[in-house]
Amino acid sequence: MEGTGLIQDLAIVLLAAGVAGALCRRFGLSVIVGYLVAGMLVGPFTPPFSFVQDVERIRTLSQVGLVFLMFGIGLGLSLTKLGRLGAPALLATGVGAVLMLVFTRALGVALGWSAAQSLYVSAMLMVSSSAVIAKVIAELNLGHERPAQVALGVTLLEDIVAVVMLTLLGAQAAGGAGGGQLGPVLAGMGAFVTLLVGAGLLMVPRVLRRLEARADPELQTIVVAGLLFLLAVVAARAGYSLALGAFLLGAIVAELPQRAGVERAFAGMRDLFSSVFFVSIGMMLDPRELLPVLPAALGLLVFVVVARATATTLGLVLCGTRPRDARRAGLLLTPLGEFTFIIAQLGVSAAVLPPRFYPLAVGLAILTVLVVPALNRRAEAILALLGRVEPRWIGRALEAYHGWLQAVQARPPRSVAWRLVRGRLPQVAAEALLVTGVMLFTPQLLELLRAQAPAFGLPVRTVELACWGAVGLVALILLFALWRNLAAIALIVAESVGDGGGLPTGVVQRVLRAVLALLLFAWVQAIAPFGPLGVWGWLVVLAGAVAVVAFLSRKLIFWHSEWRASVDAVLTEDPRAAAAARAAEQRGRDLEAWQLSLAEVVVPDGADYAGRTLAQLAIPARLGCTVLEIERNGHVVTALRPDFPVFPGDKLLLLGAPARLVTARGELQQAPAAAPADEEFRGSVLETFTLPAGGFEGRTLAALRLAQRTGVRVVARERQGARVLAPGGAETLVAGDLVLVAGTLAEIGAFRRWLAAGGSAEASA
């Protein structure tokens, strides 16, 4: 039957990935390692296990996995989260990436690599695995320590570095979006990203709000998936990678209130297709090639551990992180992950890297995943050893630099003019990039419109004029806003110079405006594609632009303000989130001073203490820890009273000494005993009982506390033909009443035993 071959291949790939991933989880390894091994086993290079019939079709499906994988990474790094990390974290990540490039180039010179090969290898080693780092932090209970939080922030930003490097290398290999020249590629990509994000922030929130109003999650999932693949294809058609478009949509959706629902809807698809992606990477690897490259992989492992720890530590110290915290974060930032495989695959397919580099990259990444958890379990001993071996002047110099930088940051800014200008510079940069993107990528849109024009019976020339007219209007709105910002900057600078230097403010302002106008004109002339329309066509567009400015200048300002307002509404950070971030940072400093730690404990399903109050649990007296807050269903409760009950799924934030926290986690997270056989079906059932005579007669439901004793809820009562639905706590029970109770099979059994014992409290025990 047609198509059964693909289904058979998918079945083999998914089952192999599931088995290998389960084995890796059992031994505490990343599931990515299991997926790669599964790919090697079922791939074409490992007979007799090479069951997959059509490897190319699996690789095509793996591109879907790459799209979902990058979408998930984008969801984890919203634009406001990027803003909360701040310029120091961005700068530290950039410095670390540049240092890794320098270190790798030095290694490449020693090993005889070409400049292009060194660039690809440095890109492979620039980015850590956020999944592995998050797993190590969770296992070592470091989530509330400042070095771990710094490491998580940097690894998220490194994902952006990876996307940029992947895009640059892909564009250079394909000769698109600026060809092989780095400057045009960077400028074009910046314009494309700004254009796509600007349009996305304008349109995607509206689409998702309308879909949410329909209360149809299925339709929302379908539309978001369509947008995901559309933006991925748009990025690929623009000369970049599928990964860039998927990542950008994820970052846009991460800003919206619908993010949680979208993330839940796509979690299964992301896991499914990303496993196919990693298995397909393993299929490209001949296991027989791993053994010859093992010595080189071990040597590179030492280089990666030392170089990445050094680069990230120096980057963090230079940007204000305390030296000890920077070193601890540097140890966490050493594992390599999925981008290492992707970039190695790109380098081999572009014939820049020899084929042996692919198994070398896979082996190196697996080794880092194996080694890094062990290194971080002994992090304190390693740091102590480093402190003994390192020359004292290095430590003193780093501490002195950190103190000087803190003093500089604490100084108030001297120039009021700079504070006013600094707020407008991001707006100028964004508007300039938007105009650049509109001008650079309109010709590609126009090619598509030209191809479709005959189908609608439209002349090609009319389509061209209409397209450029619309584009010109959009560009005109942005240019108008850009000029207003530049004019405001000129005024601020002129007043500052005039007040301080005695120059006439009006003259300085006019000179600055003239210079900025010339620069703006030269820039527009450089980016505008004058060729397609010719002189007369552009004269028509220019005449239309002049008419729009003359008659609709206020409307242009209004449209730009509307766009800015809609974007700001999405990007405006919740003040409570910012306050929480500042409180967490201060809390980290206080914990360090008191030599205390924090730990999160999730109450497991079926815990024997579920339903008990904090007073009954007596956690401070028994375990030596304090419960700071409890998170339940996404809401954090900080005003905890002794009668506050604890239920399954609650997340307790504990404060205490590290040793005490280990004991508390072990006791509170202990798996419950196996459920009895009659609890195979956990859903509630309904059953009717006729109440016999017993000790409960004449007592109210509130006094009987049936839910606490047996777990059932009385949902209806009938007495002498009169029925009461949803009886309240004041309802009494007497012999002969018919009661409809709801509960699980085990809870119904407990209620039956309670009745048989005459309604005594001991019967339900």
This prediction has a pTM of 0.61
What pLDDT, on a 0 to 100 scale, did the predictor assign at position 103? 92
> Is residue 512 located within the same domain as residue 464?
yes
Q: What angle do CA 619, 620, 626 make, to 5 degrees?
A: 95
> Reading across the β-sheet that carries 738-743, which strands appear in turn?
685-690, 738-743, 713-719, 722-725
> Is residue 146 located within the same domain as residue 283?
yes
Q: Which domain holds residue 468?
A: 416-571
Q: What percent of the chain shows pLDDT beyond 70?
A: 78
Q: How confident is the model at residue 673 (pLDDT cuts 50, 70, 90)?
A: very low
**pLDDT tens, residue by residue, 439-475:** 777 777 777 777 777 777 777 777 777 777 777 777 7
**pLDDT tens, residue by residue, 90-108:** 788 888 888 998 999 999 8
Domain boundary among 608, 642, 668: 668
Is 587 a domain residue?
no
What pLDDT, on a 0 to 100 scale, did the predictor assign at position 180? 46
Is 22 a domain residue?
no
As for how many domains the chain has, the answer is 4
> Is residue 100 located within the same domain as residue 122?
yes
Higher pLDDT, 144 or 299: 299
Q: What is the CATH number of the domain that holds 651?
A: 3.30.70.1450
> Is residue 130 located within the same domain as residue 202?
yes
* pLDDT exceeds cutoff 80 at 647: yes
> Is residue 349 located within the same domain as residue 256?
yes
> Is residue 664 located within the same domain as residue 693?
no
What pLDDT, on a 0 to 100 scale, did the predictor assign at position 553? 60
**pLDDT tens, residue by residue, 9-34:** 888 888 988 998 888 877 767 677 78
Domain boundary among 537, 571, 605: 571
**pLDDT tens, residue by residue, 24-77:** 877 767 677 788 888 888 887 777 766 776 777 777 777 887 788 778 877 876
What pLDDT, on a 0 to 100 scale, did the predictor assign at position 676? 45
What pLDDT, on a 0 to 100 scale, did the predictor assign at position 682? 45
What pLDDT, on a 0 to 100 scale, did the predictor assign at position 303? 92
Q: How confident is the model at residue 669 (pLDDT cuts 50, 70, 90)?
A: confident
* Distances 496 to 357, 413, 490, 505, 715 between C-alpha atoms, Å: 57, 15, 10, 8, 76
Is 583 a domain residue?
no
> Is residue 310 located within the same domain as residue 232?
yes
Higher pLDDT, 432 or 29: 432
Q: What is the CATH number of the domain that holds 88?
A: 1.20.1530.20
Please spell the DSSP secondary structure of 463-502, one letter per residue: HHHHHHHHHHHHHHHHHHHHHHHHHHHHHHHHHHHHHHH-
> Is residue 488 located within the same domain as residue 537?
yes
Residue 613: phi and psi, rounded to 5, are -85, 165
> Is residue 662 located within the same domain as residue 694?
no
Domain boundary among 377, 397, 425: 377
HSE, side-chain direction, 13 A CA sphere, residue 375: 22
The 3 state secondary structure assigned to 559-606 is HHHHHHHHHHHHHCCCHHHHHHHHHHHHHHHHHHHHCCEEEEEECCCC
* pLDDT exceeds cutoff 80 at 477: no
**pLDDT tens, residue by residue, 372-419:** 877 887 888 888 888 888 888 888 888 888 787 777 666 665 566 667
